[in-house]
């Protein structure tokens, strides 16, 4: 099968994760993907294939005489996002794409060139979109397809290589992809996640991430006799949010600009809960954002003369840059491999996180490579055959470079 055929076979298997589940993987359908991949790995000639706690691992032993070369890992995730429908995916395949707007026939929505100008670069490609009723699953099944095709090509073409280890993780989209990853058993010295965007993008910086829960206590009194007695926790919640920097919100930020994002509110007069995620590439700035939440709570508690506002924060993940810089050959070799594939490399700061961020702090330095897609997590998600093929070449070139 080609990389495109692989990708289309993977997205047929629905596999959204579920943040409300406490199992690993969080959804049984991810095991369907795991079993499918394990069987395919066996067929293409990988060894020591195992499924452990929902994770899939396999090995490609080094070419004779290359046993002393770097043991390199390749990692992607099996789950799809929960932001939009991830079931019953019906892709649209448009050969020799004309560079114009695309009708998503299932929903009537339009993938518009004016809104997504990168589409112009895909003219002449075989474009793969959704039909508008679901996401596509290119995040990250295109990454899986790229890895599987690269490894298969290495085997079929007898390309000399050091030991290659492959790992596919569950539950990345809900922040648990690295939770039970067996770094020691995986055995790689270094690795790459293949979970990025357009060809040429190389990512080794990501957000520092903090989650925050703000609990506000109120006092419910019948509104007819509430004067001087009622404390409406919802209104204090609105006041709390209004005291955060207005333009440090996701809808106003880009590149290296961090933000406060109010992701959920639950409220009544008696009790209101605000849930935030805080993001910033700069380690000091994320600490300042976290401190501001406590400062606002302290101010409101003083204003109302009682302890009404409680803040709880938790570090979710850190910027992997500090773990990658001591091993910058990972980036230098990715740049070289990208240039060899005929693409201009571009260093991109991830406005989010990947399994690689946490794995880097678990002792496995792990920058991120492109998969060829864009507009992930929604109906406008798309990729192309040619983009995925370029990404395959980049991965193969990296393997060749580390075998030198």
Report residue 316's pLDDT band, with 50, 70 and 90 as the boundaries.
confident
What is the rounded distance in angstroms from the CA atom of residue 230 to the CA atom of residue 224? 10
Residue 14 and residue 89 in contact, taking contact as beta carbons nearer than 8 Å: yes
Note the pLDDT of residue 175. Answer: 87
109 in active site: no
Note the pLDDT of residue 360. Answer: 96
What is the rounded distance in angstroms from the CA atom of residue 264 to the CA atom of residue 212? 11
Walk across the sheet containing 309-317 and list its strands.
Answer: 259-267, 271-280, 208-217, 309-317
Question: Would you say the C-alpha torsion 330, 335, 339, 344 has a positive or negative sign?
Answer: positive
Mean pLDDT of the chain: 97
**pLDDT tens digit sequence for 221-239:** 999 999 999 999 999 999 9
Q: Who's near 378: CB < 8 A, 6+ residues apart?
A: 83, 84, 135
**Percentage above 70 pLDDT, the chain:** 100
- Whether the per-residue pLDDT at 376 is higher than 90: the answer is yes
Report residue 312's pLDDT band, with 50, 70 and 90 as the boundaries.
very high
- Which of 18, 79, 290, 355 is labelled catalytic? 79
Note the pLDDT of residue 353. Answer: 79
Note the pLDDT of residue 20. Answer: 92
Report residue 354's pLDDT band, with 50, 70 and 90 as the boundaries.
confident
290 in active site: no
**pLDDT tens digit sequence for 72-97:** 999 999 999 998 999 999 999 999 99
- Which of 172, 201, 280, 290 is labelled catalytic? 172
Note the pLDDT of residue 343. Answer: 97
Residue 264 sits at φ, ψ, to 5 deg, of: -160, 145
Note the pLDDT of residue 225. Answer: 95
Q: What is the distance in angstroms between the CA of the first residue and the CA of the last residue of the chain?
A: 28
- Whether the per-residue pLDDT at 104 is higher than 90: the answer is yes
- Whether the per-residue pLDDT at 144 is higher than 90: the answer is yes
């Amino acid at each position: 099968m080609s990389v495109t055929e692989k990708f289309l076979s993977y997205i047929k298997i629905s596999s959204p994760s579920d943040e409300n589940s406490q199992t690993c993987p969080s959804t049984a359908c991810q095991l369907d993907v795991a079993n499918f991949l394990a069987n395919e790995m066996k067929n293409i000639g990988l060894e020591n294939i195992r499924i452990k706690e929902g994770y899939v691992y396999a090995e490609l032993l080094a070419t004779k005489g290359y046993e002393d070369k770097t043991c390199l890992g390749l990692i992607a995730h099996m789950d799809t996002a929960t932001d939009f429908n991830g079931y019953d995916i019906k892709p649209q395949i448009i050969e020799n794409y004309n560079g114009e707007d695309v009708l998503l026939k299932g929903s009537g929505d339009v993938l518009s060139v004016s809104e997504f100008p990168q589409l112009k670069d895909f003219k002449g490609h075989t474009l793969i979109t959704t039909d508008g009723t679901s996401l596509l699953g290119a995040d990250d099944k295109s990454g899986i397809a790229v890895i599987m095709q690269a490894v298969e090509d290495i085997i079929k073409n007898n390309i000399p290589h050091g030991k290659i280890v492959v790992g596919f993780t569950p539950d990345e989209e809900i922040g648990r992809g690295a939770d039970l990853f067996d770094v020691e058993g995986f055995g790689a010295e270094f690795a790459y996640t293949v979970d990025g965007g357009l060809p040429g993008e190389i990512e080794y910086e990501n957000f520092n991430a903090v989650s925050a829960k703000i609990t506000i206590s109120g006092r419910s009194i019948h509104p007819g006799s509430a004067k001087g007695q009622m404390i409406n926790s919802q209104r204090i919640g609105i006041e709390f949010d209004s005291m955060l920097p207005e333009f440090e919100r996701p809808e106003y930020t880009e590149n290296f600009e961090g933000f406060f994002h109010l992701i959920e509110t639950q409220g009544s007069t008696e009790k209101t809960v605000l849930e935030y995620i805080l993001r910033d590439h700069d380690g000091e700035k994320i600490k300042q954002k976290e401190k501001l939440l406590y400062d606002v709570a302290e101010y409101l508690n003083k204003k109302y003369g009682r302890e009404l506002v409680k803040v709880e924060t938790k570090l979710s993940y850190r910027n992997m840059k500090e773990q990658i810089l001591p091993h910058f050959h990972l980036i230098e070799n990715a740049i070289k491999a990208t240039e060899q594939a005929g693409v201009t490399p571009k260093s991109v700061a991830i406005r989010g996180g990947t399994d690689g961020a946490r794995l880097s702090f678990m002792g496995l330095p792990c920058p991120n490579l492109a998969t060829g897609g864009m507009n992930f997590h929604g109906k406008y998600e798309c990729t192309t055959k040619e983009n995925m093929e370029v990404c395959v070449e980049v991965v193969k070139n990296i393997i060749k470079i580390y075998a030198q």
